[in-house]
Amino acid sequence: MSSARAPIGVIGTGYVGLVTAAGFAELGSEVWCVDIDAEKIARLRAGEVPIYEPGLEELLAKNAERLHFSTDLADALAHARLLFVAVGTPPTYSGDADLSAVNAVIEAMPASDEHALIMKSTVPSGTGVAVKRMFDEQDKGGLAYVSCPEFLKEGSAIKDFMHPDRVVVGDVGDWAGDAVVELYKPLDAPLVRTDIASAEMVKLASNAFLATKISFINEIANVCEETGADVVEVARGMGLDDRIGPKFLQAGIGFGGSCFPKDVDALKQLAGNSGYHFQLLTSVIEVNELQKRRVIGKLQKHLSGLVGKRIALFGLAFKPNTDDMREASSLVLSARLNADGAIVAAYDPVAEEQARSLVSGISFAASPMEAARDADAVVLVTEWDEFLELDWKDVAETMSGNLVIDGRNALDADAVRAAGLVYEGVGRGGQRSIAKSGAQA
């Protein structure tokens, strides 16, 4: 890679910050990472990566010489003109995005004609305009501002950074926008260069649309359960239409994570604050909340009540390949099972540590088989590969009951049934008969 690539600063060393830092270091930039969390910075300096993200540790190690970690913003300012902001924007009680960490960065910036803030954190549309106003009020009008939203998915973040579907750059047509476009050039991705408010909205609208797609297919799944259709076949048939596409049509027990629930809420609030009631998103959120709870109804139906019943949860993280437990469906599920008097044992290959601080009243197993021991029912919550490769005859032997609820439609239903177990997925009413004739898939 060319050594002439612009150095950058990255403020905030969470998922987005670390992946951005590792990615741009890989493309040849010197990267100055800043975080107010001194312990985190000390760990990063020692080569420890505080989050689980496949490939991240290796990429940081490979580019260690170009990566610098500090708690002092001055270090980044001294070396880089472009400062990527990747701090948290968690939801407030009102559902609006909490911008206090973003505001703290703006406060900390000195007056300068040389520097630009590049916003990676997901912020409400309109934030850029407000930031520019704050710069003016604080006599920092020379600072440039660019919106450059991030579209990476946890679990495949490095791949998403290196091969983005698009790069979105929202700016006022100044040097900073040009510099960000230049930085992304080696990735050869379609570029959407636009105004700041539109770039901010692209991010929120994309997440809200994907979440809508999931709630939509979940409702179709629920109708399939009533009518005898199989939602997997329905999604396959729908997805072949180019205008619909096959992705994000996997029915299950609801979406979670640090982004969809927060961003859907934030967009709904943003609209509401401007006097517009975003009715569709209200339903997307409600459908998702109900979806997390539908497993309880299925367990109750099959087990005739839950008091004293042993339930094994396979997976806890909000999706596979991450230890992230934020808004995971397992949080609602385990709390409801507890409240209904069930005895819950859970196993997750990496999220146990995170889960222990969030979930109470359940036990943690060291393997799927340990979780399933004497269980009346097994519920697949997160579709880790480890669960897809299980020998269901072994699972059946260790269980005392025979019920398997596949919350992600990810298991081989025939293999589960062949082990003498009762299989129930999400929206798989006609699954049995179609499986027989559907080999042409």
CA distance 398 to 260: 37
330 binds ligand UGA (CB under 6 A): no
The torsion defined by the Cα of 153, 156, 157 and 159, in degrees rounded to 10, comes to: -130
- State the number of binding residues for ligand UGA (CB under 6 A): 21
Choose the stretch contacting ligand UGA; rule: CB under 6 A; options: 3-11, 150-158, 373-381, 398-406: 150-158
Least Cα distance to 20 among 183, 254, 199 occurs for: 183
214 binds ligand UGA (CB under 6 A): yes
E strand or H helix that includes residue 234? helix 231-239
Q: Are strands 377-380 and 403-406 parallel, antiparallel or unpaired?
A: parallel
By the rule CB under 6 A, 260 interacts with ligand UGA: yes
For ligand UGA, the closer CB: 207 or 212? 207
What mask of x and - would describe binding to ligand UGA in positions 238 to 257, judged by CB under 6 A? ----------xxx-x--xxx
Minimum distance of ligand UGA from residue 32's CB (angstroms): 23
**Nearer Cβ to ligand UGA, position 70 or 250?**
250
The verdict on 259 binding ligand UGA (CB under 6 A) reads yes
Q: Which of 26, 30, 53, 154 binds ligand UGA (CB under 6 A)?
A: 154
Q: Does 387 bind ligand UGA (CB under 6 A)?
A: no
Span 115-134, contacts to ligand UGA by CB under 6 A: 122
What does the per-residue mask of binding to ligand UGA show for 182-211, with x meaning CB under 6 A?
-------------------------x--x-
- How many CB atoms sit inside 10 A of residue 269's CB? 19
Choose between 151 and 175: whose C-beta lies nearer to ligand UGA: 151
Pick from 69, 84, 314, 318 the residue near ligand UGA by CB under 6 A: 318
Q: Which is nearer to ligand UGA, 68 or 294 (CB)?
A: 294
Half-sphere exposure of 218 (CA within 13 A, CB side): 26
Interaction with ligand UGA in 158-177: which residues (CB under 6 A)?
none
Q: Which residue from 168, 76, 54 is spatially nearest to 122, judged by alpha carbons?
A: 168
Query: From the CB of residue 304, how many other CB atoms can be counted at a distance below 10 Å?
Result: 8
Say if residues 408 and 253 touch (Cβ distance below 8 Å). yes
Q: Supply the minimum distance, in Å, between the C-beta of residue 323 and ligand UGA.
A: 12
CB 211, CB 280: distance < 8 Å: no
φ and ψ at residue 49, rounded to 5 degrees: -105, 120
Please report, for the chain, how many H helices and E strands are present, in that order.
Answer: 19, 14
Cα→Cα distances 283→124, 249, 327, Å: 20, 17, 18
Q: Residues 425, 409: contact at Cβ < 8 Å?
A: yes
Supply the residues annotated as catalytic.
259
Task: Output the smallest distance, CB 45 to ligand UGA, in A.
Answer: 26
Phi first, then psi, for residue 340 (nearest 5°) are -90, 5
Kindly indicate which of the ranges 93-101, 149-157, 340-348, 430-438 contains the residues binding ligand UGA, using the contact rule CB under 6 A: 149-157
| 298/309 with CB nearer ligand UGA | 298
Q: Which is nearer to ligand UGA, 260 or 392 (CB)?
A: 260
The CA dihedral of 36, 39, 45, 50, to the nearest 10 degrees, is -100
- Tell me if 150 contacts ligand UGA by CB under 6 A: yes
CA 105 to CA 87: how far, in whole Å?
Answer: 9
- Two tokens, residue 245: 């596409």
Question: Dihedral angle at the C-alpha atoms of 364, 369, 375, 377, nearest 10 degrees?
Answer: 100
Which pair of tokens denotes residue 262? 């927060």
| Binding-site member from 45, 81, 153, 373 for ligand UGA (CB under 6 A) | 153
Q: Which is nearer to ligand UGA, 230 or 263 (CB)?
A: 263
Closest to ligand UGA by CB, 8 vs 264, is: 264
Cα 396 from Cα 402, distance rounded (Å): 7
User: DSSP string spanning 84-97?
Assistant: EE-----B-TTSSB
Choose the stretch contacting ligand UGA; rule: CB under 6 A; options: 46-54, 152-160, 175-183, 189-197: 152-160
Closest distance of CB 97 from ligand UGA, Å? 12
Distance CA 18, CA 73 (A): 16
Shortest Å distance, C-beta 12 to ligand UGA: 13
Which residues contact ligand UGA (rule: CB under 6 A)?
122, 150-154, 207, 210, 214, 248-250, 252, 255-257, 259-260, 263, 318-319
